[in-house]
Chain A
Amino acid sequence: MISLKQGQIEAGEHKTAPVDEAGRRKFLKGSAAALALAPGMTLFAYGEAITKPAEQAVTTKSRWGLLIDAAKFSDEDVDACVKACQDENGWRDTGKPMTDAQWIRRVNLKNKKTDEQFSLPMMCQHCAEAPCVDVCPTGASFKRKDGIVLVDKHICIGCRYCMMACPYKARSFVHEHIEDQKEHAPRGIGTVESCTMCVHLVDEGKEPACVKAAPEGAMVFGDLNDKTSKLAQLIKSVATQQVRADLNLDPGVRYRNI
């Protein structure tokens, strides 16, 4: 339901472009309200559709998170998510697996007793108690107020402590000069990088690229703090898991069926 709604809003956005920021917001609000009245639409969908005004700083009111249902992923589905991330953020495999960037990757799991096999997408888990933030000597590794863990590459000195501290191996280091980066995803030599939860999209009220590319319902993005969000409702009602829950890092990314 959520993905349908957002799809419609985006289609509308293109139709009205070019419009100014204020007009766009008004439009978003208007259409969200209209959609909320449509049959079958519930009000919790409404809350998530409203975009943060561009001039407003993020607050602790929201905490962005993901719920990933491993049972809904085939290998190809995971690869599609990886591809979507690469396209969105402009990183790619260059055939050097030791040093290539890796914002999101496929992890294959096998139960040795039963031979059961499955795979899941693994990336920065956006921990509330992030070890990468703790070890960073310059404060470059930081957690935004809304829970998204980022590298402020402007002050990253490339020491890579954070890469060692991360239990999920979610970060990589840029070893070589890069050209023709995406303008919304600057990245360059000598700095550490990782999944940004597509912060540039989230700030515009959109979903991360991998979520869009995942099979229907396999990845749910939303606000963990908003008890009415689809994500919070799911986490309340179904059994979810944290990877390495024993570390007590309180990740924002949760899994099902692993």
Chain B
Amino acid sequence: MKIVLIMQKLIITLLGVAFIGVSLLASVGQASAQPEWMPNPPKAIGGQCDLDPKEMRKTHMTLLDHKRDQTMRDGIRTKKYSLKKCIACHAVKDKSNKCVTVKDERHFCRSCHDYAAVRIDCFDCHASRPEDSLNKATKAAGNSHDKLAGLSSIGKTGDTTDTTLRRFIAGEVK
């Protein structure tokens, strides 16, 4: 009898511990899953951001402003912090496999701005998705009849972002 009692107590304790454990785990799980209303920027097509993403979140405005003046006034055309490159690497596709413009709320630059009520006018002038020629280039390169024609329609030397972007649009990278 005593043994049965002890066994009963043990089972109950174990169950209790298990219950607390499970509920603890569950609550931890909940804490790490982001609430729906938080901004959730879409993933980049690959490569590395120009700056540690943590820093980029905080400083992209100033970096872009600085780059803008350098390019506009002094003709400095390096890739780092170039708006064209942000747009290329942070391209987001819709279901029909086309890159979305800033009109679409899934656009990378809107993901946080909509949440934080930031409005930028950059895309009044700047293309908000990689140029159509890239889509064409994908086709040309994909057909592999004329890989060079595809590359040349981009006009610039194909750097890694362009190459990844082509593969991204072609559906080879997610």
Q: How far, in whole Å, are A14 and B156 apart by their CA atoms in the complex?
A: 9
Q: Does B53 contact A (CB under 8 A)?
A: no
Shortest B91–chain A CB gap in Å is 12
Q: How far, in whole Å, are A55 and B74 apart by their CA atoms in the complex?
A: 10
Please tell me if the beta carbons of A13 and B157 are within 8 angstroms of each other in the complex.
yes
Q: Does B55 contact A (CB under 8 A)?
A: no
Map CB proximity to A onto B96-117 as digits: 1 under 8 Å, 0 otherwise: 0000010000000000000000
Chain B residues closer than 8 Å to A182, beta-carbon distance:
127, 131
Q: How far, in whole Å, are A188 and B74 apart by their CA atoms in the complex?
A: 22
Q: Does B36 contact A (CB under 8 A)?
A: no
Q: Give residues of chain B (110-154) contacting chain A, Cβ–Cβ below 8 Å.
A: 121, 124-127, 130-132, 148, 151-152
Q: Does A146 contact B (CB under 8 A)?
A: yes
Q: How far, in whole Å, are A123 and B76 apart by their CA atoms in the complex?
A: 25
Chain A residues closer than 8 Å to B72, beta-carbon distance:
150, 152, 154
Please tell me if the beta carbons of B125 and A144 are within 8 angstroms of each other in the complex.
no
Please tell me if the beta carbons of B162 and A183 are within 8 angstroms of each other in the complex.
no
Q: Does B60 contact A (CB under 8 A)?
A: no
- Knowing A19-B157, A144-B75, the reply to whether A186 touches B68 (Cβ < 8 A) is no
Q: Does A116 contact B (CB under 8 A)?
A: no
Q: Which residue of B lies closest to A20 (CB)?
A: B159
Please tell me if the beta carbons of B75 and A52 are within 8 angstroms of each other in the complex.
yes
Chain B residues closer than 8 Å to A177, beta-carbon distance:
124
Q: How far, in whole Å, are A139 and B139 apart by their CA atoms in the complex?
A: 43
Interface size class of B (residues with CB under 8 A): 20 to 34
Q: How far, in whole Å, are A55 and B131 apart by their CA atoms in the complex?
A: 24
Q: Considering only CB atoms and an 8 Å cut-off, how many residues of chain A contact the other chain?
A: 42
Chain B residues closer than 8 Å to A200, beta-carbon distance:
77
Chain A residues closer than 8 Å to B125, beta-carbon distance:
153, 178, 181, 186-188, 191
Please tell me if the beta carbons of B76 and A54 are within 8 angstroms of each other in the complex.
yes
Chain A residues closer than 8 Å to B126, beta-carbon distance:
181, 183, 186
Shortest B169–chain A CB gap in Å is 15
Chain A residues closer than 8 Å to B127, beta-carbon distance:
180-183, 186
Please tell me if the beta carbons of B162 and A18 are within 8 angstroms of each other in the complex.
yes
Q: How far, in whole Å, are A58 and B151 apart by their CA atoms in the complex?
A: 28
Q: Does B73 contact A (CB under 8 A)?
A: yes
Q: Does B87 contact A (CB under 8 A)?
A: yes
Chain B residues closer than 8 Å to A186, beta-carbon distance:
125-127
Q: How far, in whole Å, are A16 and B158 apart by their CA atoms in the complex?
A: 9
Cβ 8 A contact of A152, one of B73, B75, B101, B160: B73
- State the A residues within 8 Å of B (CB): 13-21, 24, 52, 54-58, 142, 144-146, 150, 152-154, 177-184, 186-191, 199-200, 203-204
In the A-B complex, list the 5 residue pairs whose CB atoms are closest, starting with the nearest. Answer: A18-B158, A188-B125, A188-B124, A57-B74, A186-B125
Sample 11 A-B pairs with CB under 8 A, ordered by A number: A17-B157, A17-B158, A18-B160, A21-B159, A24-B157, A152-B73, A183-B87, A183-B126, A186-B126, A191-B125, A203-B75
